[in-house]
Amino acid sequence: MSGTSTAPLAVTMGDPAGIGGELNLGAWARRADAVPPFYAIDDPARLRTLARQIGVDCPVVEIADPSEALAHFAGALPVIPLRLPQPQPPGKPRPENAASVIRSIELAVEHAQTGRAAGVVTNPINKLALYEGAGFKYPGHTEFLGALGGDVQTVMMLAAPGLRVVPLTVHVPLREVFAGVTVDKILTITRILAESLRRDLGITAPRIAISGLNPHAGEGGAMGREEIEIITPAIQALQAEGITASGPWPGDTMFHEDARPNYDVALCMYHDQALIPLKTLDFHRGVNVTLGLPFVRTSPDHGTAYDRAGKGTADPRSFIEALRTARHMADARAMS
């Protein structure tokens, strides 16, 4: 297949008590600033009320199918109706609405898998509200999407202009990181990463920089032997497969301005080693990308922000970058 995907992007409801609705409204209001067309799967009445409350001039039009979104996007925010069973005040999550949040995700994925949506952009959720209100069985968004995609192995990549990072171990206590750093895991994650960069971003020969675990990448074994016994053997095996992997690089020197142009993505050993440099460099434009899925999925790199909900102060830049990234990925897949 060649060309570009012409379908719009599907945007999920997210936690209706959070800032997701405001991000939709804010992104639509900036649609002239290279914001790709999208439609929301949400409660239209909630979005209309929210637009009035925060003073955003954003008409809402109900559509029955994603194919109608492009015709309406220039003049109104297209919304596939998904009614909330209970009124939803900003900043106060209601478990009674949890089933609608989950259904929004399921519908967006269904649209993407059938080609009616170019990809899925998810608004932030509150897992506790989903646990309490709908018996949600997954640790988080990514695991649920992996299940909907056929129980595939997924990789979380965070991206901002000028830097992409992947944590090898994600949401685990720091004391458990060492047990999670294995040769097999490095091989599995890096293989998915290399293939996804080719397919989703059009990078024909991805360069993957792999960090060390210990200070100074172990300093020849003086500060730990994980680099010698685990990380270096994994890198050598990847290189033997033809993957351009390098390292292990010291975590304190691989992110400065002269180092970043030398790789396309940094694979780091633990959460903060990856996310601190990215969020320091460009906090407001970070995007969460799920690699390994049979459909495109991105998300803004922040949470529900209950303290900002309903106040009109939510910053849509990360959400807009998530839309742009999803559009780029969908087009790259269509060109492959």
Q: What is the pLDDT of residues 172-216, one digit of tens each?
A: 899 999 999 999 999 999 999 999 999 999 999 999 999 999 999
What is the structure's pLDDT at 105?
96
**In this predicted model, what pLDDT tens digit does every residue of 221-245 receive, in sequence order?**
999 999 999 999 999 999 999 999 9
Structure confidence by residue, pLDDT tens digits, 89-130 = 899 988 899 999 999 999 999 999 999 999 999 999 988 888
Summary mean pLDDT of the chain: 94
Cα separation, 224 vs 222, whole angstroms: 6
pLDDT of residue 2: 40
Give the per-residue pLDDT at 1.
37
Q: For residue 171, what pLDDT is reported?
A: 83
**Looking at 29-33, 133-137, 197-201, 204-208, which range is the least confident one?**
133-137
Higher pLDDT, 6 or 26: 26
Q: What is the pLDDT of residue 203?
A: 95
Q: What is the mean pLDDT of residues 41-48?
A: 97
Residue with tokens 């009109």: 312
Query: How many residues belong to the chain?
Result: 336
Region 52-61: mean pLDDT is 95
The pTM is what?
A: 0.92
Check whether the bond before 277 is cis (ω within 30° of 0).
no
Domains and CATH numbers, the chain: 1-152+293-336 (3.40.718.10), 154-290 (3.40.718.10)
Give the per-residue pLDDT at 143: 87
Model pLDDT for residues 281-308, shown as the tens digit of each residue: 998 899 999 999 999 999 998 889 999 9
Please state, in angstroms and rounded to a whole number, the distance separating the CA atoms of residues 245 and 73.
42
263's tokens: 């790789």
Question: Residues 254-278: what's their mean pLDDT?
Answer: 97
Asked if the model's pLDDT at residue 3 lies above 80, the reply is no
Residues contacting residue 144 through CB under 8 Å, at least 6 positions apart = 102, 105, 136, 138
